[in-house]
Amino acid sequence: MLRFLTAGESHGKGLVVIVEGLPAGLQVTAEMIGAELGRRRLGFGRGPRMRFEADELTLLAGVRHGRTLGSPVAVEIANTEWPKWTEEMSPAPGVTSKPLHQPRPGHADLPGMQKYAFSDARDVLERASARETAARVAAGALAKALLAEIGVTVVSHVVQIGSVCSARDERPGPDDLDQVDASEVRCFDPSAAESMVAEIKAAAKVGDSLGGVAEVIAYGVPVGLGSHVHWDRKLDGLLGQAMLSIQAVKGVEIGEATEGAARRGSEAHDAISWEGDAPSPDTTSSGGYRRQTNRSGGIEGGISNGEPVLARVAMKPLATLNRPVLKTVDVVTKQETVSFKERTDVTAVPAMGVVAETMMSLVLAGEALRKFGGDSVEEFRRNHDSYLASLNGAGAGT
Ligand code: EPS
């Protein structure tokens, strides 16, 4: 099975990710991982660090001559900010001269300090920071490469920033990611994108932050990933956990969950049709069946059904404000105050969309490996292809 583990603090020496369970023979280059890391830095509204910091990556292990060996893949991403932080973040014994005692409301600061018995919020915030998502995206680039071997493409686009929403019927296809990334806010609807930029400028002016929603869509997912048989094997459950683990994400919706809750059953589900007599690329992954609509977001009973897998991911406004106004308490004096000031982004929703792509890719790649197995990429692909051929030949229930 696919597993990954990250290590690293936001202003530490660097991040490391180890990805275990990839089959041998997957083509991997530093450039391809670097391209995904570059995409995560996109988006109007990010702070100055995104401009001056580069993600310097090194493939430490698991890749030889441009392909995986089946051993753990380790990637290091150096923090080019490190020289400015060597003292403050030094691993050597010592104490800080600048402890942060005024936790930010909405951040991990206070519960983290209480739980781990710290009096300096930096001991929590360094790891809680979304800098860690760079390591995840490196892992996600590998997952995406594996999914590409079986024709699965994962895309994302921003559908809401603050109160500005894109037109609901504007949805990128599998080949539209460059167009999304060309938008300043990674929004597929150009007129909404303009309003989103204006919304970010207005929030920046008053030192405030903005949340929003990104939609993630996986095309070409074969029917049969995930399972109805156990709570912890349901694909929607796995996606929910993965998405909610992204820093500042508070909600996940699969398909039209919220809208569907207000409809009657006769209008909330997706009628089934048989199109296997005239196979098309759209029916290959679903064994010849299609759904007339995709309100379920490609998942029924915790199992992918062959339609695009669709998740909407909601991010709260960042808890770090350029003009802290929310009341907090100094943990030493217990006096009312406002939080310490920390450099921040106005919004990171466009980048969160890329991280959500990563998490969707890691979940789908893990489930595809569970279903198809294979120690080499060829074996993995062969198992996938023969499964689909058996479905398309026989149809469900025979
Ligand atoms: C972050 C705050 C900012 C972001 C950082 C996440 O960092 P700094 O305070 O050093 O400017 O730039 O994100 C990244 C460095 C990154 O690579 O995404 C936070 O508090 O989460």
Say how many Å lie between the CA of residue 272 and the centre of ligand 1: 46
Beta carbons of 183 and 318 less than 8 angstroms apart: no
- pLDDT of 379 strictly over 80: yes
Task: Look at residues 293, 214, 275 and name the one whose alpha carbon lies nearest to residue 248.
Answer: 214
In the chain, what percentage of residues exceed pLDDT 90? 89
Query: How many angstroms separate the alpha carbon of residue 180 from the centre of ligand 1?
Result: 23
> Which atom of ligand 1 is nearest the CA belonging to 55?
17
Is 49 a pocket residue for ligand 1 (Cβ < 6 Å)? yes
Query: Is 64 within a domain?
Result: no
Ligand 1 centre distance from Cα of residue 209 (Å) = 14
Average pLDDT of the chain to the nearest whole number: 95
Task: Report, as an integer, the average pLDDT of 78-90.
Answer: 96
**What's the pLDDT band for 34 if we cut at 50, 70, 90?**
very high
Residue 360 domain-assigned? yes
| Ligand 1 in reach of 320 Cβ (< 6 A) | yes
- Token representation of residue 358: 């990563």
Q: Which two tokens stand for residue 58?
A: 């090194």
- Residues 82-102: what's their mean pLDDT? 96
The finding on whether 47 has its CB within 6 A of some atom of ligand 1 is yes
Asked, for residue 48, whether it belongs to a domain, the answer is no
Per-residue pLDDT, 280: 82
Is the pLDDT at 19 greater than 80? The verdict is yes
Q: At a CB cut-off of 8 Å and minimum separation 6, what does 83 contact?
A: none
pLDDT digits (tens, 9 = 90+) for 109-147: 999 999 999 999 999 999 999 999 999 999 999 999 999
- Best residue among 10, 42, 55, 81 to mutate for probing ligand 1's pocket (most ligand atoms within 8 Å of CB) is 10
Q: How many residues does the chain have?
A: 398
Residue 72 within a domain: no
129 lines ligand 1 (CB under 6 A): yes
- Beta-carbon-side half-sphere exposure of residue 271 (alpha carbons within 13 Å): 5
What pLDDT, on a 0 to 100 scale, did the predictor assign at position 285? 92
**The pLDDT value given to residue 398:** 45
Give the structural domain span for 318. Answer: 99-390
Q: Is 342 in the pocket of ligand 1 (CB under 6 A)?
A: yes
Spacing of C-alpha 173 from chain mean position: 18
Atom of ligand 1 nearest to the CA of 47: 12
CA–centroid distance, 387 to ligand 1, in Å, is 44
Confirm if 108 and 125 have CB atoms less than 8 A apart. yes
Residue 293's CATH number: 3.60.150.10
Q: Give residue 350's pLDDT.
A: 98
Query: In the chain, at which residue ranges do the beta strands (DSSP E only) sit?
Result: 3-7, 14-20, 55-61, 63-64, 67-68, 73-79, 153-161, 164-165, 212-219, 249-254, 272-274, 289-291, 299-300, 303-304, 309-315, 327-329, 336-338
Asked whether residue 118 is assigned to any structural domain, the reply reads: yes
Indicate whether 365 pLDDT > 60. yes
Average pLDDT over residues 322-347: 92
For the chain, what percent of residues have pLDDT higher than 70? Answer: 98
109 CB less than 6 Å from ligand 1? Answer: no
CA distance 136 to 252: 19
In angstroms, the first-to-last Cα distance of the chain is 30
Spell 337-359 as b/e; 16+ CB within 10 A means b: eebbebebbbbbbbbbbbbbbbb
Note the pLDDT of residue 347: 97
Give mean pLDDT, residues 370-377. 98
pLDDT bucket at 394, cuts 50 / 70 / 90: low
pLDDT in tens, 281-308: 788 899 999 999 999 999 999 999 999 9
Taking CA atoms only, the protein residue closest to ligand 1 atom 8 is: 343
Look at residue 249 and tell me if it is in a domain: yes
User: Binning pLDDT at 50, 70 and 90, where does residue 393 land?
Assistant: low
Atom of ligand 1 nearest to the CA of 46: 12
Is position 37 within any domain?
Answer: no
Task: Select from 345, 347, 349 the residue to mutate for testing ligand 1; criterion: most ligand atoms less than 8 Å from CB.
Answer: 345
pLDDT at 281: 79
Residue 360, pLDDT > 50, answer yes
**What is the number of domains present in the chain?**
1
Residue 143 to residue 359: CA distance in whole angstroms: 9
Q: Distance between CA 250 and CA 261 in Å, rounded? A: 19
CA proximity to 146, closest of 311, 369, 303: 369
The answer to the question of residue 21 being in a domain is no
